Amino acid sequence: MLAVYFLWGGFISVIDEIEAKKNITLEQLQYLLEGNEADYLKERALAVRRGIYGNEVFIRGLIEFTNYCRNNCYYCGIRRDNQNADRYRLSDEEIMDCCTEGYRLGFRTFVLQGGEDGFYSDEKICHLIKAIKGQFPDCALTLSIGEKSRESYEAFYKAGADRYLLRHETANEVHYRSLHPKNLSLRNRKECLRNLKDIGYQVGAGFMVGSPGQTTKTLYDDLQFLRELNPHMVGIGPFIPQHDTPFANKKAGTVDMTVTLLSIIRLLLPRVLLPATTALGTIDPMGREKGLMAGANVVMPNLSPKRVREKYALYDKKICTGEEAAECIECLKNRVNKIGCSIVCDRGDYR
Ligand code: SF4
């Protein structure tokens, strides 16, 4: 079925209307999530991505430097109460080694990602930032270390951090409560994101697709929040249950729904940096390719040492835990080339 709307003196499809207005209604979202016009949606999202970024795919080197976390998000495999998590912290030297190897392989963006680990004072983080930026001044440095005070974010920015990833997870208050314990609040999460943007970071938000309790309405709230925040990056991937969490028996999100939402986000925020996530590649061997062909333009291979890869188990059956960084990037280059795109070795800034 083709839904048509009367706009600007003519009838156009729902997808053209979303693209033209860079907005979506709840009904239009429902219509697209039902799978209607899926091919045309992907086609338009791909065209928009190509118009801005061509066929270039940006790479970000992910360094998962600690899996300690003081929080207890119900969906997360490294939550505080998971006694089965094998905890680790990388030493500063190990982190620098990851960057050195990443640089050799062509990475010009490093992402320092970890749980909210009290071991890392602001001082320690600033020290790390300065060390990495001192040795690799032509690289962008992204932090993904959770909720902090505005003062901390300012200190990291002053030390040289360029970007910050903080998925909002859901912009719906009731849904947020069902995914997080009481000490965490959506209000604070949003406040953090606004502070980060205000300070001058390139900011990434995002959410899981198919998380327990998610509805079309909560997704609609997510999309409207993203339009309002207008982040530089949006990371979305399917929810995948982790066996040691309260959500162990919940159903995973789907490839189709994730891909549909990637395309919609590309139409709403045409310039946004949009990763085809590892989680998408985990639920479908061709998931990342499907994401890239639906409007995504970033991949984030892992630069963490092989010995800790499996320990950063946010969800089950995560792919690419057995390969060295060099093997990962070779594999990804081939995959990306096969779909007519190419990996570029620069900072991959927002355009
Ligand atoms: S989602 Fe983040 S903040 Fe929540 S438990 Fe996991 S690592 Fe910690």
CATH of the domain at 69: 3.20.20.70
Q: Is 202 a member of any domain? A: yes
Amino acid 150: pLDDT? 98
Determine, yes or no, domain membership for 2: no
What is the whole-number distance in angstroms between the Cα of residue 212 and the centre of ligand 1?
A: 16
Is residue 116 within 8 A of residue 143, CB to CB? The reply is no
Q: What's the per-residue H, E or C state across 266-324?
A: HHHCCCCECECCHHHHHHCCCHHHHHHCCCCCEECCECCCHHHHCCCCCCCCCCCCCCC
- For 135, list phi and psi in degrees, rounded to 5: -85, -25
Helices 14-21 and 26-33, packing angle to 10 deg: 130
Contact 195, 166 (CB under 8 A): no
Query: pTM for this structure?
Result: 0.95
The answer for residues whose C-beta is within 8 angstroms of residue 242's C-beta and 6 or more apart is: 75, 76, 77, 248, 313, 314, 315, 316
Whether 3 is in a domain gets the answer: no
Closest ligand 1 atom to Cα of 67: 7
What CA–CA distance (Å, rounded) separates 62 from 139? 13
Binned at pLDDT 50, 70 and 90, residue 275 comes out as very high
> Does residue 11 form part of some domain?
no
Q: Given this model, what pLDDT does residue 190 score?
A: 98
In this prediction, residue 42 carries a pLDDT of 98
What pLDDT does 263 receive? 98
Higher pLDDT, 150 or 9: 150
Q: Which atom of ligand 1 is nearest to the CA of 79?
A: 5
CA-based radius of gyration for the chain: 19
Contacts of 28 (CB under 8 A, 6+ apart): 3, 14, 17, 18
Among 66, 78, 211, which residue has the most ligand 1 atoms within 8 Å of its CB, making it the best to mutate? 78
Q: What is the pLDDT of residues 42-71, one digit of tens each?
A: 999 999 999 999 999 999 999 999 999 999
Query: Residue 141: pLDDT above 90?
Result: yes
CA of 188 to the centre of ligand 1 (A): 15
Could you give the strand order of the β-sheet that contains 163-165, starting from the edge strand earlier in sequence? 61-66, 109-114, 140-144, 163-165, 202-209, 233-238
Helix (H) or strand (E) holding 45: helix 38-53
210 pLDDT above the threshold of 90: yes
Which atom of ligand 1 lies at the shortest distance from residue 80's CA? 5
Query: Distance between CA atoms of 34 and 40, rounded to whole angstroms?
Result: 14
- Kindly give the distance from the C-alpha atom of residue 287 to the centroid of ligand 1, in angstroms, as a whole number: 24
| pLDDT given at position 38 | 97
Provide the residue range defining the domain that includes 132: 53-344
46 occurs within a structural domain = no
Residue 349 within a domain: no
What pLDDT score was predicted for residue 309? 87
pLDDT at residue 5 in the model: 58
Read off the pLDDT band of 12 (50, 70, 90).
confident
Mind giving me the DSSP string for 177-204? HHHS-TT--HHHHHHHHHHHHHHT-EEE
Q: Whose CA is nearest to atom 5 of ligand 1?
A: 79
Whether residue 328 lies inside any domain: the answer is: yes
Residue identifier of the C-alpha nearest atom 3 of ligand 1: 71
Contact 329/103 with Cβ under 8 angstroms? no
Q: How far is CA 155 from CA 160, 161, 201, 295, in A?
A: 9, 9, 12, 34
Residue 166 Cα to ligand 1 middle (Å): 11
- Which residue of 69, 170, 183 sits with most ligand 1 atoms within 8 Å of its CB, as the best mutation to test the pocket? 69
CA–CA separation, 60 vs 110, rounded Å? 6
| 25 inside domain | no
| 160-191 exposure pattern, b = at least 16 Cβ within 10 A, e = fewer | bbbbbbbbbbbbbeebbeebbeeebebeebbe
The confidence band for 324, taking pLDDT boundaries of 50, 70 and 90, is: confident
So what's the pLDDT on residue 109? 97
Report whether pLDDT(300) > 70.
yes
- Please state, rounded to an integer, the average pLDDT across all residues of the chain: 95
CA-nearest residue, atom 7 of ligand 1: 115
Place of tokens 């890239």: 292
Identify the residues whose C-beta falls under 6 Å from ligand 1.
Answer: 69, 71-73, 76, 78-79, 115-116, 146
* Rounded to 5°, angle at Cα 17 from 24 and 262: 55
State how many domains the chain has. 1
Residue 265 near residue 229, CB atoms below 8 Å: no
Percent of the chain at pLDDT exceeding 70: 97
For residue 4, is pLDDT > 70? no
